[in-house]
């Protein structure tokens, strides 16, 4: 089991930055000079000297007058514009007795979706809060359960134990799925447990791991909802708002709110379909519903809202398929060896097979030029994966991991079923896997942009805002404090 791996968390792990290249701006176009009939001027049309002189004089006078007027308006407006002082310290609470954090997840909200349509409510949080300017970096693998639990614990999947949405325990042979609620699977200490440990109340409206009875957290019916995807988004928002109608000592100081969209649409149609635009607009309306409800109760400026996604999304299609059966001339990979296919290939050969030999033979075939799309899959022993992925220090991780090129998928055998849609789970260095981070509240500076960072840093941000001691994790307290305003 991977429980012993938690003992190595004494040092913090810094996120790996990915260079971003801005595209060059196009050269400005050159306009043609046209006569009053719309055709280019003829070289035979020569105005007289007097007309030229008068025209130049008039143009000079007009230009001079315009310059003087512009200068007057510019300097006068600059001198009269109000000076907005730079915020340097935390804003005091006006109504609440202690800080309250609402952590919102919009599943599959790829960075850039906020520009697909008008999102006035999301942009209100951005304008008056702090944003990861080029997006939040998910952990690897960029899947829903590993990332939600990394956000909740500050741990990489190798340390919190949820290494995939589905996997098999190599010792017991038991299978983990997204319905597994036994605490033995869920390592680390999630935020709701940390909050309760300090004598406060926490409330979770859907979040992977929140239904697990673990430590001091028993998922109380008043404050914990068991997942039900059919619950309308409006009901979820209204339930969270209702917590602020409780007596002050019963208001949870930490709350989660989860929406399945736009991940649901992204898988079905890819990231560029009009359905994504509609889903994003709906999420924005839910953020507006939350803001209006908090304003009605007079607590909007007191409450900290942190809005994130768990991963991005990329389009996939038939022409981007790699089939394991095509490797048969070099090595046969039976179905029962494979724990996951795409976009994370995970293989656990049975006893008697050398993982290193399997990797060598697979790579020989993939690089031979005889396997269709083979060069878009790289296979590693897990200990040889790039260190920046932090995906080795757990027995739950199979010994052979394949990294699939962006937008490609791995399957066992050829079929005629349609494959076009969207997927995630790829290397977190791909920009398409990035999601959003927006922090709005007393300890987030207004209008601030910060560089991209990994989501394991969010745990320490929240414990710092709540002024409680967090559990050991892979984030950095100093990094979290660099994002937040000092008290």
The catalytic residues are 144
User: Are the beta carbons of 209 and 148 closer than 8 angstroms?
Assistant: yes
Q: Quote the CA–CA distance of 357 and 325 in Å, as a whole number.
A: 18
Q: Quote the CA–CA distance of 425 and 433 in Å, as a whole number.
A: 8
CA-wise closest residue to 458 among 313, 260, 305, 312: 305
CA-wise closest residue to 479 among 466, 8, 126, 463: 463
Helix, strand or coil, per DSSP, at residue 193: helix
Omega before 141 within 30 of 0, i.e. cis? yes
Helix (H) or strand (E) holding 207: none
CA-wise closest residue to 432 among 407, 457, 458, 401: 407
Q: Quote the CA–CA distance of 449 and 127 in Å, as a whole number.
A: 10
Locate 429 and state its tokens.
């260095």
Q: In what order do the strands lie in the sheet with 202-205?
A: 224-225, 202-205, 254-259, 101-106, 304-308, 437-440, 130-132, 448-450
The alpha carbon torsion through 377, 378, 383, 388 (nearest 10 deg) reads -80
The string over 76-98, giving b where at least 16 C-beta atoms fall within 10 Å of a residue's C-beta and e elsewhere, is eeeeeeeeeeeeeebeebeebee
Locate 402 and state its tokens.
């394949």
Phi and psi based region of residue 270 (left: phi greater than 0; alpha: psi -120 to 50; beta: remaining): left
Residue holding tokens 């030999």? Answer: 357
In this structure, are strands 400-404 and 409-411 parallel, antiparallel, or unpaired? unpaired
Concatenating the DSSP letter of every residue in 415-470 gives --S---EEE--S-TTSGGG-B-EEEESTTS-TTEEE---BGGGHHHHHHHHHT-PP
């Amino acid at each position: 089991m991977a429980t012993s791996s938690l003992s190595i968390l004494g040092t913090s792990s810094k996120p790996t930055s990915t260079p971003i290249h801005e595209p060059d701006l196009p050269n400005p176009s050159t306009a043609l000079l046209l006569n009053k009939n719309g055709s280019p001027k003829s070289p035979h049309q020569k105005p007289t000297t007097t007309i030229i002189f008068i025209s130049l004089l008039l143009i000079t006078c007009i230009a001079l007058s315009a310059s003087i007027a512009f200068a007057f308006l510019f300097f006068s407006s600059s001198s009269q514009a109000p000076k907005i002082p730079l915020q340097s310290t935390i804003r005091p609470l006006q109504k609440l007795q202690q800080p309250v954090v609402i952590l919102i997840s919009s599943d599959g909200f790829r960075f850039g979706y906020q520009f697909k349509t008008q999102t006035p409510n999301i942009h209100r949080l951005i304008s008056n809060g702090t944003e990861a300017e080029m997006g939040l970096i998910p952990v690897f693998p960029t899947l829903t359960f590993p990332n939600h639990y990394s956000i909740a614990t500050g741990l990489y999947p190798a340390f919190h134990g949820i290494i995939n949405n589905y996997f098999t325990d190599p010792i017991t042979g038991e299978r983990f799925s997204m319905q597994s609620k036994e605490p033995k699977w869920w390592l680390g200490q999630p935020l709701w447990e940390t909050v309760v440990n300090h004598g406060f109340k926490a409330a979770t409206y859907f979040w992977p791991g929140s239904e697990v009875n673990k430590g001091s957290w028993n998922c109380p019916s008043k404050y914990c909802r068991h997942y039900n995807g059919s619950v309308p988004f409006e009901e979820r928002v209204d339930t969270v708002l209702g917590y602020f109608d409780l007596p002050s000592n019963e208001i949870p100081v930490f709350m989660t709110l989860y929406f399945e969209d736009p991940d649901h649409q992204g898988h079905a149609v890819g990231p560029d379909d009009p359905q994504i635009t509609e889903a994003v607009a709906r999420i924005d309306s839910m953020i507006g519903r939350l803001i209006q409800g908090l304003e009605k109760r007079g607590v909007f400026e007191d409450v900290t809202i942190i809005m994130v996604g768990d991963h991005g999304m990329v389009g996939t299609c038939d022409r981007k398929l790699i089939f394991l059966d095509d490797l048969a001339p070099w090595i046969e990979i039976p179905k029962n060896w494979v724990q996951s296919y795409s976009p994370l290939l995970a293989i656990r050969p049975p006893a008697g097979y050398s993982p290193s030999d399997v990797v060598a033979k697979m790579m020989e075939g993939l690089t031979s030029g005889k396997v269709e799309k083979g060069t878009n899959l790289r296979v590693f022993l897990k200990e040889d994966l790039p260190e920046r992925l932090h995906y080795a220090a757990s027995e739950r991780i199979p010994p052979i991991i394949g990294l699939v090129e962006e937008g490609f998928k791995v399957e066992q055998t050829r079929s005629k079923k349609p494959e076009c849609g969207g997927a995630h789970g790829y290397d977190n260095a791909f920009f398409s896997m990035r999601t959003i981070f927006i922090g709005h509240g007393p300890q987030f500076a207004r209008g601030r942009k910060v560089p991209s960072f990994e989501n394991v840093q969010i745990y320490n941000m929240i414990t710092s805002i709540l002024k409680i001691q967090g559990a050991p994790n892979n984030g950095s307290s100093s990094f979290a404090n660099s994002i937040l305003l000092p008290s």
